[in-house]
Amino acid sequence: MVKKKTCVFISGQGSNLKNLISRSRDNNFPIKISLIISNNKKARGLFYAKKYNIPYVLINTKFNNYENKILLNLRKHKISFICLAGYMKILSKFLIKNYKKKIINIHPSLLPKFKGLNTFSRIIKSKEIKAGCTVHFVNEKLDSGSKIIQKIFFVNSNYDEKILKLKTQKLEYKAYPEAIIRIFRYN
């Protein structure tokens, strides 16, 4: 199997990144993480880039031409697939157009509900009985691309944001690899 050279974009802890690195070491998993991009030099996820000897690039998104720098690095490393894993920056139409149907994201809600930020507090305020995560293709609209997979759990009325986050992350670690396998199974 020829693995797809993949870049993971991160901004924070990198727990989904760690999970994807672990899964990508399996010979039957369809991607190889060849680059990590972060817009946060303090992202704890960069530890995994260093630990597993994966090239990484820090991108200062305050500069106007930062997406050109991203594209140059993606081309330099021959990246053909992108996974967003807690990347807290909206991608421009320019970047999405260059990687159409080649960028996926994981979101901590059952989309189309609770797009954007502060998901867990919004779930609690709405007294939802179900929560979960969604892996979807990235398009020009925030958290609106076609769904690849959703994982669901039932919400207990005594759950707080911390419990919701932990339960959601547990599902994310299953959903993200399953979605990647599903995408490449038919390609």
Does the annotation count 107 as an active-site position?
yes
Spatial distance between the Cα atoms of 103 and 64, rounded to a whole number of angstroms: 22
AA letter at 145 = G
The answer to whether 20 and 176 have CB atoms below 8 angstroms apart is yes
Query: First-to-last CA distance in the chain?
Result: 12
Burial of 12 per CB tally in 10 Å (0-12, 13-18, 19+) = middle
Q: Residue 27: how many CB atoms within 10 A of its CB?
A: 7
Spatial distance between the Cα atoms of 126 and 111, rounded to a whole number of angstroms: 15
| Selected catalytic residue, list 4, 18, 23, 107 | 107
Q: What is the DSSP letter of 71?
A: H
Catalytic site positions: 107
